[in-house]
């Protein structure tokens, strides 16, 4: 509908998750009208995030160094590992204030329809991590939807025979959604009320 630079911007914005054509247009016109310095701040933030942010070599969380802040924090223990799908889920669990262990970020969930199998997730690195012998409990905090459940079931099958205590968040989370959509009180309750996986 729009040619040239404006059209390109609308198209790029429209590629972002959750941004439909109308929102893309609105954002593009907002940026067009914005102060130049404001737009430069946004451009610089985009550059910096690509240059500086990487993934923690231990847990897969976002980090600006080889190990993320949580893996470097000596006050946190490796006794409990909370397995989540995405880095944003780490933040969601952190906000509850219920957890003092460490995390393992899978980078997604098993989803046969989209061709995502166990080998596409950071499961092998979890297995390697578990060999340290420090871990006692594995908390499966994948999303409360079909893919998340399938992933939790798969992981439980894998680690339970190794003798770990395996728990899953209590029900009560909005079913079908993402962990991040749950408010911190609900998620905190689901966390403290977690149950053994049998
Ligand atoms: Zn880490």
The rounded Å distance from CA 87 to ligand 1 centre is 10
The rounded Å distance from CA 153 to ligand 1 centre is 24
Please, which pLDDT band fits residue 176 given cuts at 50, 70 and 90? low
Collapsed DSSP state (helix, strand, coil) of residue 171:
coil
The rounded Å distance from CA 192 to ligand 1 centre is 22
Q: What dotted CATH number matches 4-52?
A: 1.10.8.420
Among 173, 91, 103, which residue's Cα sits nearest to residue 137? 103
**Residues 75-168, CATH architecture:** 3-Layer(aba) Sandwich (3.40)
Distance, CA of 11 to CA of 81 (rounded, Å): 41
Among 141, 101, 107, which residue's Cα sits nearest to residue 125? 107
Reply yes or no on whether the pLDDT at 161 is more than 90.
yes
Rg of the chain (C-alpha set): 20
pTM for the full predicted model: 0.82
Reply yes or no on whether the pLDDT at 113 is more than 70.
yes
54-81: pLDDT as tens digits? 999 999 999 999 999 999 999 999 999 9
The rounded Å distance from CA 102 to ligand 1 centre is 8
13-33: pLDDT as tens digits? 999 989 999 999 999 999 999
The rounded Å distance from CA 101 to ligand 1 centre is 11
The rounded Å distance from CA 59 to ligand 1 centre is 4
The rounded Å distance from CA 47 to ligand 1 centre is 23
State residue 54's pLDDT score: 94
The rounded Å distance from CA 97 to ligand 1 centre is 18
- Average pLDDT of span 33-62: 96
The rounded Å distance from CA 162 to ligand 1 centre is 23
Are 129 and 164 within 8 A, CB to CB?
Answer: no
Domain ranges of the chain: 4-52, 75-168
């Amino acid at each position: 509908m729009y040619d040239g630079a404006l059209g390109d911007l609308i198209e790029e914005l429209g590629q972002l998750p959750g941004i439909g054509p109308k929102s893309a247009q609105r954002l593009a016109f907002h940026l067009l009208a914005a102060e130049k310095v404001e737009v430069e701040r946004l451009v610089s933030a985009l550059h910096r995030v690509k240059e500086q942010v990487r993934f923690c070599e231990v847990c897969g969380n976002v980090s600006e160094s080889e190990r993320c802040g949580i893996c470097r924090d000596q006050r946190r223990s490796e006794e409990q590992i909370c397995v989540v799908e995405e880095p944003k889920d780490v933040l969601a669990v952190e906000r509850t204030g219920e957890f003092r262990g460490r995390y393992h970020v899978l980078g997604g969930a098993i989803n046969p329809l989209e061709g995502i199998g166990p080998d596409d997730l950071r499961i092998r690195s979890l297995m390697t991590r578990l060999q340290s012998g420090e871990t006692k409990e594995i908390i499966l905090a994948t999303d409360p939807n079909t893919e998340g459940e399938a992933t939790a079931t798969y992981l439980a099958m894998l680690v339970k025979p190794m003798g770990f205590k395996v728990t899953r968040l209590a029900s009560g989370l909005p079913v079908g959604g993402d962990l991040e959509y749950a408010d911190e009180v609900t998620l905190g309750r689901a966390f403290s009320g977690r149950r053994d996986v049998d």
